[in-house]
Structure 1
């Protein structure tokens, strides 16, 4: 058998650009659906609305692919950014030959799912809200919030698919808290919000630190400019959970609904309290730093052993 005949089957199995494009697009769609899955498994009924046009029970609310509510803003962040991060991580692990083509097709798949979910959800919300200025402001605020979440999802995707480890590690810092919140939504989806075991929030407090610590250990400190990523990730680990707590508390307080000045004042007060020593962020940041340094040590020992084994084999 000649060489061309032997290599022909291998050439026939190579994927074409359209094939890679379709695979990337399907990957993006699956990632987008995965991001929304913790909400979808609950039945995806629109949360009760303060400005709803009629009095209904929670189980009478229409189906909505996004939990549109001022009380669910941090949930929206988690659901939407998780889709972009999942797609970016999948492309990074896959490492396709046509990386750019697959990446943009995957991004379009994620955006297609998120845009479709947003259109369906806002159509349902618009059809049920009562008339009035407050309802229009509420609707516009939710639209702006969802657009910001989708933009953050795209940022997470682009950072994770980029070749430099430093950018991927930065994405881990941005996604540590939303990813933890997304995992918590899975628990709530299966057992219900009122039946979550007390151990879950206690464990969830430390998960962002473990994510950041492992990402920094993987990123490394060489070249020296990667130290900027270490500082940025540790700062994000300090600030992002405080933002989640502040936003969740302020938007969840019905007494201040519509009073923007009072809401901003309380958000600053809560943010300052959670960022301060009493907020409890220091142990979390310390754990992330300890995990990162321990990971660097393990990598260094492993590299020395591999180098020693190669030297021994050379002498033999």
Structure 2
């Protein structure tokens, strides 16, 4: 056996080009699977395009064409939840996997998610464009939805990179960023199987508190040391305070047909609802207190357990 051959055997398989290529392929598949899983709650409903106010021909719901995304002004929050959760799931999978070629694997996973989401976007907007009546309002509606989907895909990439990062602080920040959309995604599973009209009354109540629990657990896992992690606490609590309020304002404005297309009036109404939702009567302080309580309790338990382990050692 030659010395060169012997040296080759000492190199771990993950450092060979083949190892890098295999991990890149696996990451691409993980990303594609996560992107599809994010959209699955919509697909299990049958994925018929929601009825459109601006549709050219009057049709029944079951006659609407297949669409991989639920394009509708009434489903904007669902779109955000489905797309953002796909990225979050891919980021979580990447972090749990912890591949040797981390950077390559991460970006391949991003590519996998984007591949699914871009195909779904192209298919859905083609179907929407083919069926919409003409006119300025239809164009505004089409491009407004497109902007929403593009921003949601960008949020998906941000969530994936944060949650998939090596840094505990970045992952905790990503968890806070997606806590509300992921909860909405979970609710979509209930709607997908039970139907919106048959959804148990307890589901909205539970869903109101779930983001606070998720944020609290993320903060407990993140901890308070080093002191820079306090920034993560502030940002995660800001997400928990602001995102539900923004969602409420957006949903309320887009569901009001009386001012459809009147952009100044829609912005004015949205701002009023947002301010009210962010105020003390909006109820956000209760979820913030729960998140802080869980975070502090968890961080305290972790610190105590760490000291006990040091004493035993």
Tell me the distance in 2 between the aligned counterparts of 1:251 and 1:195: 24
TM-score by length of 1: 0.93
Q: 1:122 to 1:204 in 2, by over 3 A?
A: same
1:309 Cα deviation from its structure 2 partner: 2.5
Aligned residue-pair number:
306
Structure 1 residues 237 and 12 mapped into 2: Cα distance closer, same or farther (>3 Å)?
closer
- Are 2:170 and 1:164 aligned? no
Deviation at 1:308, TM superposition (A): 2.6
1:113 aligns with 2:108: no
1:26-175 matches, within 5 Å, as: 26-175=29-178
1:108-257 alignment, distance < 5 Å: 108-257=111-260
| C-alpha contact 2:177 2:239 (8 A) present in aligned 1 | yes
SS in 2 for 1:205: helix
Aligned equivalent of 1:287: 290
Separation in structure 2 between the aligned mates of residue 123 and residue 208 of structure 1, nearest angstrom: 34
Q: Matched residues in 2 for 1:234 and 1:19: separation?
A: 39
Between the aligned partners of 2:10 and 2:101, the Cα distance in structure 1 is 21
Structural RMSD (CA): 1.7
**Aligned position for 1:313:** none
Structure 2 CA distance, aligned partners of 1:137 and 1:210? 38
The whole-number CA distance in structure 1 between the counterparts of 2:10 and 2:121 is 45
Name the residue aligned to 2:262.
259
Q: 1:170 Cα deviation (Å)?
A: 1.1
The TM-score normalised by the length of structure 2 is 0.94
Q: What is the rounded CA distance, in whole Å, between the counterparts of 2:132 and 2:124 in structure 1?
A: 12
For 2:297 and 2:284, the matched residues in 1 are separated by 20
Structure 1 runs not aligned, ≥5 long: 311-316
Moved over 3 A (4+): 7-15
CA deviations 1:5-61 (Å, max 9, x no partner) are 9x9699569861111111000000000000000000000000011110100011110
Task: Provide the secondary structure at the position in 1 that maps to 2:99.
Answer: coil
Gaps of at least 5 residues in structure 2 are none
Deviates more, 1:165-174 or 1:57-66: 165-174
